[in-house]
Structure 1
Amino acid sequence: MTTQLSTTQQRMGEFRKALELTYGEQIKASLPSPRDFNRFCQAMLTCAGVNPKLLDTTLESRIACAIQCAHLGLFPDTVIGYAYLVPFYNKRKGASECHLIPGYKGLMQLARRSGEISVIQARAVYRDDEFRVVLGTSDHLTHTPGPNYDGDASLITHVYAIAAYTSGGMQFETMTRERVETYRARSRAGQSGPWVTDWLPMALKTVIKRLIPFLPSATAAIHAAQLDDMDERGVPQNLHAHGVNIIDAATEPPDNGDQAPADGADN
């Protein structure tokens, strides 16, 4: 137990050094505000403390997620739910990698940042709610909560997402529970994890992802949704291919005889 604790502390120290020193300037430059650097690094370290399996992922993938989170301006956490870091086993590489998973709140935040969205919301419809959708030359949606509203998730019949434009007008997307379950069935983790423990947030995220491609100037939100889809399908995110360029500072001669940070061991 003592040896395991010592190894975890050592890996945490290596991760801290990589975040704050080796790749610190690159992460700081990627953040919307450099003043958030210390708080951002602490958020990354807290995620690893809450889920030590993240320390088994390659250091390169953790840093790539950090840079991507910084670029998107999403702080990973397990409380607010803007973004999450999860281990993903890459069979081709035979190594565990870190994946960035945006939460539905994070996707909505990214959509609002475009400056063209004044309001974006996602809600669930429960049995006995009054829910009406009209499509045509003047699409509109009405939802009047009933006695079961905001209650047992098993009573949810639909989910929907609405975005109002700053210039006027709006866009919405709806999904039946059956349609959500079809998406869940395609997920590599449809029978475990959040789809089991937090069905509603996952359903809301699913309908938001269907709405986002129709929103103007929502490039960041679309990219984040694509990363989520890749994880759902069990596809390595390969953040290098998505514009995340890690400056190979780790290959520079280490200071004071210290070894350069090495990739974490696989599971």
Structure 2
Amino acid sequence: MRELILIGIGTGNPDHLTGAGIKAMQDADRILIPRKGRDKADLADLRRQICDRVLTAPGPEIVEFDLPVRDASGDYRAGVDDWHDAIALAWAEAAGNAERVALLIWGDPSLYDSSLRIAARLSPAPQIRVIPGITSLQALTAAHAIPVNEIGAPFVVTTGRQLRDNGWPTGVDTAAFMLDGQCSFLTLPPEEFDIWWGAFLGMPEELLIHGRLSEVADQIVETRAEARAAHGWIMDIYLLRRRPA
């Protein structure tokens, strides 16, 4: 592998691809599509649908591979390190003898995605090229037609794990939370916050809920569980803003 191209594809809507992303896909020798198990087969299907829609013949070779599963039984960071090593090896094996290889990355490769860290583990190291994509945070604020920040005020983008372990971030009244499979907003005093939640953003299945946390928290939990059961997976994000005293 001489060059590895990480292409942000937004939240699954082919319209989220930039012109640069489409060109990079077309120019690749091989596009790798990870399989995450039968329950998440739709994720691979979505990537194939994007390829079918934007690529023209003769296009790159499409190769699927099984994504390793993280061992969550021990230390979190050690488990992630071992997992990333295994993924890098899987990339290298799936790339084969192709010189220019592309991976389609949900959202943007630079925001709460480990693709760049995994790419750094490849040996020999290929040239890395990143094509930015629409982030889930952009898709969320656009879907709700809201600005992410108050006038002149900072905000934080973090994870559900951080909210559960450390509480509300200090120094801000607005925070966006990603990678939260446990609805960590339930740990907050619900009367103090408004929430803007979204799942499958930009897709036909898009789900949006907004309101005072005390009034919509249960609805979000129920809606999320039903959607995950129906699809086998869910990608969601939410923004919380502290209500004025």
TM-score grouping bracket, smaller chain normalisation: under 0.3
Higher relative contact order (CA 8 A, sep 6+): 2
Structure 1 or 2, whichever has the larger Rg, is 1
TM-score, L = length of structure 2: 0.26
TM-score, L = length of structure 1: 0.24
